[in-house]
Structure 1
């Protein structure tokens, strides 16, 4: 909750890339963060820019799925991601995803991590593919649309994944991207 005022500022930098993503404006940020923190099926994180310690976005682990008959998870999803305009394209998303994928595979021991986006969101789809996630297809009329004017309608959802066997090579590619960009 301490990040709410700065996240509210970050969300207002340039809202043009939020057409497919629910990003609150102004006073709505407190309710948004509170909602995410109150959900037991979601681990919410502020994305904080290391160079200045400023919160510039949000991401989460969500929808944990247990292994049948076991006391551990088989899969999680990474989602609810948005970044301030000034943080987009800077590598912070790659850093955050490397940490989240690492936690999911190396700490939680999952077999699969999923990422989903509105099928029309080409920018998000390209970013997910650049992370090394495998495109699995489009689930038609799968989930709620966040596009203005489509309230109460369903969207087609593009689904991507990384499975446990792919994680070492995906991780290496992320680390190389970050090193080339001077981020690690």
Structure 2
């Protein structure tokens, strides 16, 4: 592994509500079903159709700077979405990572609002800070995506601002255009506090 790549094989990250498994072509059929449960919440999110899922997964597996996961709901073992660690950045002059991003996240309609997203973030943050030893983890979303921004803010992360015309828009009809991007982050010193916030949110989800 170089400092601009991630390990070629993702670990299995297990929680109470969700298990993050290394993405494989074997996940394609269930991911296709998950993506078609209901697409009303995907207006700002690049979620492939069932017909596109095989090429979507193949594309993710072909990127050395990406650590992709299938999100598996523990209660029934059903694949309900995708998420990833990406964009690793090295420490200047060192053979180790300083920062990484959590992204390419989507969930089936039935898995949204169930605590699965919150626990997946805890697992990914924990792996990034406690195993990879990074100093910073980033999350970003379309600045217009209020639903996503509220979900991120609930985790107790730091809002850094809006970067104008920063990245590709995924809104239908805006192909080839740039979007304003809301940027969030957690640094290593903040992780214990964020971990506590996420643990409390999970407790609410499991015992409302």
Give me the TM-score of the superposition, normalised by structure 1.
0.97
| Shift in Å, 1:172 | 1.2
Q: 2:84 aligns with which of 50, 56, 60?
A: 60
Greater fraction of residues in helix: 1
Which among 130, 133, 140 is matched to residue 154 of structure 2?
Answer: 130
Note the alpha carbon deviations across 1:83-107, whole angstroms, 9 max, x for none.
0110000000011110000000000
Mark the runs of 5 or more structure 1 residues left unpaired by the alignment. none
Deviation at 1:3, TM superposition (A): 1.1
Does the alignment pair 1:148 with 2:198?
no
Alpha-carbon distance in 2 for matches of 1:87, 1:182: 13
Which sections of structure 2, spanning at least 5 residues, go unmatched?
1-24
C-alpha distance in 1 between matches for 2:199 and 2:57: 29
In 2, distance between residues paired with 1:117 and 1:64?
A: 18
Matches of 1:147 and 1:59, distance apart in 2: 19
SS in 2 for 1:52: coil
SS in 1 for 2:206: coil
The aligned counterpart of 1:30 is 54
Partner Cα distance (1:81, 1:139) in 2: 20
Aligned-pair CA distance for 1:181? 2.4
**Map of 1:94 onto structure 2:** 118
CA contact under 8 A between 2:169 and 2:176: conserved in structure 1? yes
Asked if 1:18 corresponds to 2:42, the answer is: yes
Choose which of 19, 37, 43 in structure 1 pairs with 2:67: 43
Q: Does 1:73 align with 2:97?
A: yes
Q: How many residue pairs are counted as aligned between the two chains? A: 183
Cα-to-partner distance string for 1:132-179 (whole Å, 9 max, x where unaligned): 111100000000100000000000000000110110011111112212
**In 1: Cα distance, 2:186 partner to 2:145 partner:** 20
RMSD in angstroms over aligned alpha carbons?
0.9
Which residue, 107, 110, 113 being the options, matches 2:134? 110
Q: Deviating runs (4+, > 2 A) in structure 1?
A: 179-183
